Amino acid sequence: MTERIPKVLVVGPTYVDMAVKCEMFPEPGRSVEGSGFSCVPTGAGLNEAIQAALCGAEVYLLSRIGEDCFGEMIKQTLRRYGVSTDLVYLTQAISTGIVVTMVDGNGENRSCRSAGANRVLGRDEIEYAGAEQLIQTADVCLVSDGIPPTAAVSAIRTAGLHKTRVVLEARLPGVERQVLRSIDWPVDFYNADVIILRFEGIVCASELGAGGDGDLKFIGTELVACGARCVVISMGWHGALVIDRQGQRRIPGITLDVVDQTGCESAFAGALAASCGSGDNPDRAVKFAVAAETLARSRFGLHDALPKKEDILMLLQDQPD
């Protein structure tokens, strides 16, 4: 990643995760004693904006929250990390997005999510004069997973109008080759400069086991054939795949002990956007993102696990060329 300070706009969802530990999950109609309650701001937009800021970028988040204490908690967290909240809009009569999680004595968890104000993020917020001006002057626009398609499409179109680089998180329902037959992405998704490909139910593609690599290459190649400019797939400790019209490349992984995978997706996307915004090509940006993801996976927690730019560069310096 170069020394210049990139301007990054993240368009993404925000939530507050309320988690409680319990010895065992309650049966239907019953309650159990809990302990260790926590209440933590989260969401792809918030987490990725924080990671980009930790990478030294000037970061703005475009999102929606409710007029409640949870929304204020989100804004305070963003400001603590230096992320601008000028485009975090208050929504009347709708709550902030909430995740309620129970964690049992074996470490298993069950969650219920209410999108709340995230559901009404749309074109109006993107096409607002202040937001469009910011997109025009940004080096990169990161469109996070988990926002309404209309908002994602509007962000991509507006960024394209102003020649602003777009990094898009997009998700497929599975890793089988046949999922491509039923893909229903808006056509504008293929106009993103970089697509970070995610898969339902899989934290990182290294979970796929033997044969999964070939399926991922096939899916990425088919998406490029359909018009995608560059597809990036994280392989966890195996690195990442970069697939574009020049071919396929594997960015090597970095070996560190795995402690917690909570923030690894956000670390990857936020770091990649910051690196792209500084002018790095996709291969160089993905290498930077792989290092960020590796560090996040080697630490416990969410925001405390997200690495700073100097930590990422130090890890990269220790790797062979």
Closest alpha carbon to 311 in 251, 256, 237, 233: 256
Domain 9-26+33-317: CATH superfamily, name plus number:
Ribokinase (3.40.1190.20)
Give the pLDDT band of residue 213 (cuts 50, 70, 90).
confident
Phi, psi of 208 (to 5 degrees): -75, -25
Give the pLDDT band of residue 36 (cuts 50, 70, 90).
confident
Quick one: pLDDT at residue 225?
A: 92
Quick one: pLDDT at residue 286?
A: 97
Task: Give me the residue spans of the domains in the chain.
Answer: 9-26+33-317
Give the pLDDT band of residue 311 (cuts 50, 70, 90).
very high
Give the pLDDT band of residue 261 (cuts 50, 70, 90).
confident
Kindly report the average pLDDT of the chain as a whole number. Answer: 92
CA 1 to chain centroid: 19
**Span 69-124, pLDDT tens digits:** 999 999 999 999 999 999 999 999 999 999 999 988 887 889 999 999 999 999 99
Q: Which residues contact 252 (CB under 8 A, 6 or more apart)?
A: 239, 290, 319
CA distances (Å), origin 176, targets 7, 199, 214, 234, 273: 37, 10, 11, 17, 28
In the chain, pLDDT over 90 holds for what percent of residues?
Answer: 76
**Span 142-194, pLDDT tens digits:** 999 999 999 999 999 999 999 999 999 998 876 666 677 778 899 999 999 99
C-beta separation of 198 from 171 below 8 A: yes
Highest mean pLDDT among 83-92, 127-136, 256-265: 83-92
d(CA 43, CA 110): 17
Tell me which amino acid residue 148 is.
P
3-state secondary structure of 6: coil
